[in-house]
Amino acid sequence: MGSKSKKRVILPTRPDPPTVDQILEDVGRASPSDPVFTMFQDCSQEDRGTAAEGEVESRYLQSRRYLEWVEQLQEAQAQL
């Protein structure tokens, strides 16, 4: 069997991130019914605080695991 070579896909360059002024302008033009502003409307203030704290902790732990995996991969690469 012959090896099949894959064509390398050339992706377009990533656009520059928006500036602070562009972000502020975008938020200023958003209507009050925009999902960004209404997402937590049905939650009570207490629920939002608890959910946010839990999410922050979850994201922190996820980040720590990721960094540990990166370190393990670097160690494995050094051994090869």
pLDDT, tens digit, for every residue of 43-59?
Answer: 655 555 666 778 888 88
Contact 77, 69 (CB under 8 A): no
| pTM of the complete model beyond 0.85 | no
> Tell me, what amino acid is at 28?
G
Q: How far is CA 69 from CA 6, 14, 37, 55, 61, in A?
A: 28, 27, 36, 21, 12
> What's the maximum distance between 2 C-alpha atoms anywhere in the chain?
64
Contact 48, 40 (CB under 8 A): yes
pLDDT tens per residue, range 11-26: 889 899 999 999 999 9
Domain-wise residue ranges, the chain: 20-79
